[in-house]
Structure 1
Amino acid sequence: MTEREGKSPGGWQLNCPVSLRDHAECVTLAHGEGGRLSRRLIQERILKILQSVSSQTLDDAARLPHSGQPLAMTTDSFVVTPLFFPGGDIGSLAVYGTVNDLAVSGARPLWLTLSLIIEEGLPLAVLERILESVARAAGETAVQVVAGDTKVVPRGAVDGLFINTAGVGELLEPVPAGPEQLLAGDELIVSGPLGQHGMAVMAVREELGIEPLPPSDSGSLFHAVDHLRSVLGTRIRCLRDATRGGAAAVLHEWAEACGMTLSIEERTLPVTPEVRGISELLGLDPLHIANEGTMLLAVEQGAAAEAVAQLQTIPGMERASRIGVVRERGVAPVTVQRTLGAEQPLADPLGSPLPRIC
């Protein structure tokens, strides 16, 4: 018997908010075989919870209305462990992560597909709690779940639940020009505290015993992007949500795309005391830690003050800050002026210091 098989349902997942009986009803392999149990799982558990944001047909393909606007599409997979973490769970994360990819690409999110890969033995109460979170996040972001799929795999093949999504949205003018168009003098901004999501997941997974636990920043960026678009228009050069690899990965991608040097100042970086303390304890740099509701944006020279002021009116973005500037290419693609030292190259993330965070 494995450690997982020896646990009671209540011990299925660290930080699980669901109270489970010792003999709680669980997902079986038969639920994934396409027969009666599969139909019952979909109709009585999944569609019942998602009915407010989901197409109710069981056709093999969704029929989408033609909006008349150019469309954007993205896809993503979510394998976070644990399934529940301070400030969110894999369900809301799957919605927000997909919506944010569309939002920073200049699109209004409209439709979402949701595919579930479920490990045999996952308590149905846990699955329902996650689907309820999907429904809340989809309702908040005004996206409709129009198609999906469910597979059940043997114990040990996944950690409880993996989710795959695809998102479709309509592009809204003006669409950001993209990092290839960055110019010397353009200003760099971050919308909120760095490293919150990665540290929230790790603190629970590794049972660090930290109080208070740092909450994830998992949330939708669409409102913020839409507001900035209406105020700044074409003065926005590019946007990107700083997920895996953190802000450092975004900065390096942009520097490679434009052939310039992106220079930031450590003293201007918004980092909460909790994240800073854990980072110093473990020797990590918040610039390399993932976020799930924080974005980087570049605006044309002179527009940063207005952009920051607008962001700071949005709940959760009160600590938005101008963090740097674009320069002609120097000795390094990305540099950071450390608070207690000279300007130095910022390393491009190699591997992940905190795996399985999204």
Structure 2
Amino acid sequence: MGEVIRLVHGNGGRFSHELMERYILPHFTNSLLAPLHDGAQFTVKAGRMAFTTDSYVVTPQFFPGGNIGKLAVCGTVNDLTMNGAVPQYLSCGFILEEGLDSDVLESVVTTMAAMAKEAGVQIVTGDTKVVEKGAVDGIYINTAGVGYIPEGIAIGPDRVTADMDVILTGSLGDHAVAVMGTRYGFTLPDSIVTDCAPLNGMLTPVLSEFGDAVALMRDPTRGGVATVLQEIATQAQVGIRVREAAVPVHEDVAAVCHMLGYDPLYLANEGKAILFVKKEATEEILHRLHQHTYGREAVCIGETMAKNAGKVGLETALGGVRLLDMLGEDQVPRIC
């Protein structure tokens, strides 16, 4: 067990500097962060930029295959990627609870540095606050990110039309079930781990090669695939038909869902994407996705239609159709 975080670590004085110098800066150091000014100064490419922010409050902070730091970096990188952007720079804000073990902080920061390296981004500015014991659950993280959108890339719901295919880049529910199992002390198979991953290394080349054929990309995090599809059907005013038999769910995850009454279509994922693509490019895009570690299970799960605008229908294994709506009550709370 390491040193515990104290309120004085957040007062802006000597202890705050020691916290930064001992646990954070050794992992995040780069030329843009090094001046330790009130913000980072950097040169951006001319043209369109994407900017996003998100906060992470998952409990527990550690779960099979990852931790809150992995979520923070991957989540922001993926949000930029879903805009068609090439992620470049992140900020990182920590809110730490008095009494937090410094080993926990260092483990989280180490993971964040590793994920930033994999994603090819730099953490260039940030902030740390320490609050009274009980005010937060150990550690909360906010990350913001910027990236540039290459020329010719146009991603948005307004580009989704009828007669497009819907591609899902992999299996559903891994992250939510992994977090749930740890939270409630369930003994789950070792195969169930978070799918959390930075997706820019897989999707940026797809956009570079097939940009005009990709109308929209979304990552089905909170609310799951069903909620995302319903949002898009409403925004684009198209109908969406999904084939239940085509939706990939790992066997062990499906078994847990069956026992506990969870629907994988509404479970959160942190390393998957939904793509709306022109039909003539579907097979080539799938082939490209299959070449990447995070896209080996990519599959076409449905298509858009001119009829039934604003509705999502699931063709069941029995041959019927079930309408999918947005998530109502949480199945598994606080998954990111």
Could you tell me how far 1:174 is from its partner in structure 2?
3.0
- Pick the aligned partner of 1:107 from 74, 81, 85: 85
TM-score by length of 1: 0.91
* 2:190 is aligned with 1:212: yes
What is residue 194 of structure 1 aligned with on the other side? 172
Matched letter for residue 195 of structure 2:
D
CA 1:129 to 1:54, structure 2 compared with 1: closer, same or farther past 3 Å?
farther
**CA contact under 8 A between 2:72 and 2:143: conserved in structure 1?**
yes
Q: Which amino acid aligns with 2:76?
A: T
Give the drift of 1:69.
3.1
Rounded Cα–Cα distance in structure 1 between residues aligned with 2:54 and 2:68 = 12
Cα distance in 1, alignment partners of residues 158 and 268 from structure 2: 23
Give 3-state SS (helix, strand or coil) of 1:34's partner.
coil
1:54 shift after superposition: 6.3
Which residue of structure 2 aligns with residue 257 of structure 1? 235
The answer to whether 1:287 aligns with 2:265 is yes
**Which runs of at least 4 in structure 1 moved beyond 6 Å after TM superposition?**
none
Query: In the alignment, which residue of structure 2 is the partner of 1:9?
Result: none
Partners of 2:145 and 2:26 in 1: CA distance: 22
For 1:64-213, what aligned pairs fall within 5 Å after superposition? Answer: 64-213=42-191
| Alignment match of 2:245 (pick from 242, 245, 267) | 267
1:315 aligned onto 2:288: no
Q: Offset at 1:53? A: 8.1
**Aligned partners of 2:113, 2:15: CA distance in 1, in Å?**
23
| Counterpart Cα distance in 2 of 1:318 and 1:66 | 33
Q: Is the 1:200–1:214 contact (alpha carbons within 8 Å) kept by the matching residues of 2?
A: yes
- SS of the residue aligned with 1:303? helix
* Structure 1 contact 262–326 (Cα < 8 Å) conserved: yes
Residues 270 and 174 (structure 1), Cα distance of their counterparts in 2 relative to 1, 3 Å cut: farther
Amino acid at match of 1:225: L
Task: Quote the residue 1:354 is aligned against.
Answer: 332
Aligned residues: 336
What is residue 234 of structure 1 aligned with on the other side?
212
Distance 2:155 2:145 in 1: 21
Match of residue 326, structure 1, among 291, 304, 318: 304
Give 1:195 shift.
1.0
SS, match of residue 154 in structure 2: coil
Counterparts of residues 48-67 of structure 1 (less than 5 Å): 48-52=26-30, 55-67=33-45
TM-score (norm: length of structure 2)? 0.96
Contact 1:53 1:135 in 2 (8 A): no
CA distance in 2, matches of 1:339, 1:82: 36
Contact 2:238 2:309 (C-alpha < 8 Å) held by counterparts: no
Return closer, same or farther for 1:213/1:159 CA change in 2, 3 Å cut-off.
farther
Q: In the TM superposition, what is the alpha-carbon distance from 1:115 to its structure 2 partner?
A: 0.3
Distance 2:335 2:31 in 1: 26
**Residue identity opposite 2:279 in structure 1:** Q
Secondary structure of the residue aligned to 1:164 is strand
What CA distance in whole angstroms lies between the structure 1 residues aligned with 2:184 and 2:31? 35
Report the Cα distance in structure 1 between the residues aligned to 2:309 and 2:124, rounded to whole angstroms.
49
Cα distance in 1 for partners of 2:53, 2:309 equals 36
Match runs of 1:8-19 below 5 Å: none
For 2:252 and 2:158, locate their aligned partners in 1 and report how far apart those are by CA, in whole Å.
35
Larger displacement relative to structure 2 (347-356 or 80-89) = 347-356
Alpha-carbon deviations, 1:261-304, whole Å to 9, x = none? 11100000011011101111111111100011100000012222
Partners of 1:173 and 1:331 lie apart in 2 by 31
Q: Percent identity?
A: 39
In the alignment, the residues of structure 1 paired with residue 133 and residue 83 of structure 2 have an alpha-carbon distance, to the nearest angstrom, of 38
Label 1:205 to 1:240 Cα distance change in 2 as closer, same or farther (>3 A).
same
Structure 1 177/135 Cα, relative in aligned 2: closer, same or farther at 3 Å? Answer: closer
Check the 8 A contact 2:165/2:279 in 1, yes or no: yes
Contact 2:206 2:285 (8 Å CA) reproduced: yes
Does residue 276 (structure 1) correspond to residue 268 (structure 2)? The answer is no
CA distance in 2, matches of 1:164, 1:329: 41
With 72-81 and 210-219 compared, the bigger mean Cα shift is at 210-219
Partners of 1:265 and 1:157 lie apart in 2 by: 45
Offset, 1:332 = 6.2
- Root-mean-square deviation (CA), in Å? 1.4
Quick one: structure 1 residues 175 and 332, their matched pair in 2 at CA, closer, same or farther if it must change by over 3 Å? closer
User: Do residues 337 (structure 1) and 315 (structure 2) align?
Assistant: yes
Unaligned runs of 5+ in 1: 1-19
Whole-angstrom CA distance in 2 between matches of 1:272 and 1:53: 43
Q: Distance in 1 between matches of 2:202 and 2:18?
A: 40
2:10 match: 32
Amino acid of the structure 2 residue aligned with 1:289: L
